[in-house]
């Protein structure tokens, strides 16, 4: 894959070097904050004596510092966001695996914003008509409900600006609406869109159109 990156005149969705950089959590959080997104209080550390409780509180959202994929025999395991107490994280083994510690967003509505070029589509993700505490990806697919959602114009523009600022054409952005504020969670430059594609959300057509006739 790295060798293919030499084809810098090719049409990419997205350019591999831009993907590699944009997948770095610290980079995307920094870009989002600069653009003006609300970003949860964040600390990346492997220090169990860090002042987390003073800055964030005792209850935290625990994440990896980059995409976490593990193998156990023939199984591939993925790391999800975990809501837990800081004291359960701050063990003597923390120095072996630095982590992203964030303020948890409770009573939230998860929003997925899919950006392709200058187009974007937003959906709200619910269970039984309500928002989902914690990482919604841990909810059974049969219980997930998807509804089209209209973002405020300024938030829509921030989404488009974020993707551009990271050198991307495509990005799957996760936001959370909590206490009247739209919080940036992450952007995935290779995020899946097939589960959201429809006549009302023609994502596949937009991607294919750009690849066949880039502009």
Separation in Å, CA 82 to CA 3, 60, 100, 104: 36, 8, 11, 9
Residue 43 pLDDT greater than 90, yes or no: yes
Contact (Cβ atoms closer than 8 angstroms) between residue 168 and residue 14: yes
Residues 68 and 146 in one domain: no
Which range in 6-15, 45-54, 61-70, 130-139 is most confidently predicted, on average pLDDT?
A: 45-54
What does the pLDDT average to over 178-193? Answer: 95
- What pLDDT is attached to residue 158? 98
Task: Identify the band that residue 108 occupies on the pLDDT scale cut at 50, 70 and 90.
Answer: very high
Domain with residue 144: its CATH number is 3.30.470.20
Mean pLDDT of the chain: 91
For residue 62, the enclosing domain spans 41-104
Residues 8 and 112 in one domain: yes
What does the pLDDT average to over 135-143? Answer: 81
Residues 66 and 136 in one domain: no
83: which 2 tokens?
């809501």
- What pLDDT is attached to residue 78? 73
Domain count across the chain = 2
Of 84, 104, 124, the domain-final residue: 104
Of 52, 79, 104, the domain-final residue: 104
Residues 26 and 75 in one domain: no
Phi and psi at residue 67, to the nearest 5°: -55, 130
- What pLDDT is attached to residue 29? 95
Residues 23 and 61 in one domain: no
Residue 196 pLDDT greater than 90, yes or no: yes
Which residues make beta-bridge pairs with 99?
Answer: 45
The pLDDT tens digits for 73-102 are 888 877 788 899 999 999 999 999 899 999
What does the pLDDT average to over 193-197? Answer: 94
73 vs 33 pLDDT, higher one: 33
Residue 141 pLDDT greater than 70, yes or no: yes
- What pLDDT is attached to residue 215? 58
């Amino acid at each position: 894959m790295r060798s293919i990156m030499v084809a810098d005149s090719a049409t990419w969705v997205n350019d591999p070097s831009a993907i590699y950089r944009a997948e770095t959590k610290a980079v995307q959080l920094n870009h989002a904050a600069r653009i003006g997104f609300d970003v949860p209080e964040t600390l990346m550390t492997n220090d169990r004596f860090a002042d987390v409780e003073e800055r964030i509180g005792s209850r935290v959202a625990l994440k990896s510092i980059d995409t976490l994929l593990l193998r156990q025999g023939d199984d591939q395991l993925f790391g999800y966001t975990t809501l837990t107490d800081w004291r359960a994280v701050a063990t003597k083994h923390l120095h072996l695996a630095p982590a992203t510690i964030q303020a948890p967003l409770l009573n939230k509505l998860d929003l997925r914003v899919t950006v392709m070029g200058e187009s974007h589509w937003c959906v709200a993700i619910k269970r039984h008509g309500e928002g989902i505490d914690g990482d919604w990806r841990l909810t059974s697919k049969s219980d997930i409900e998807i509804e089209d959602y209209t973002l405020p114009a300024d938030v829509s523009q921030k989404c488009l600006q974020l993707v551009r600022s990271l050198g991307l054409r495509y990005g799957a952005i996760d936001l959370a609406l909590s206490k009247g504020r739209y919080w940036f969670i992450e952007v995935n430059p290779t995020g899946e869109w097939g589960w959201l594609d429809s006549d009302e959300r023609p994502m596949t057509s937009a991607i294919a159109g750009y690849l066949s006739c880039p502009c």
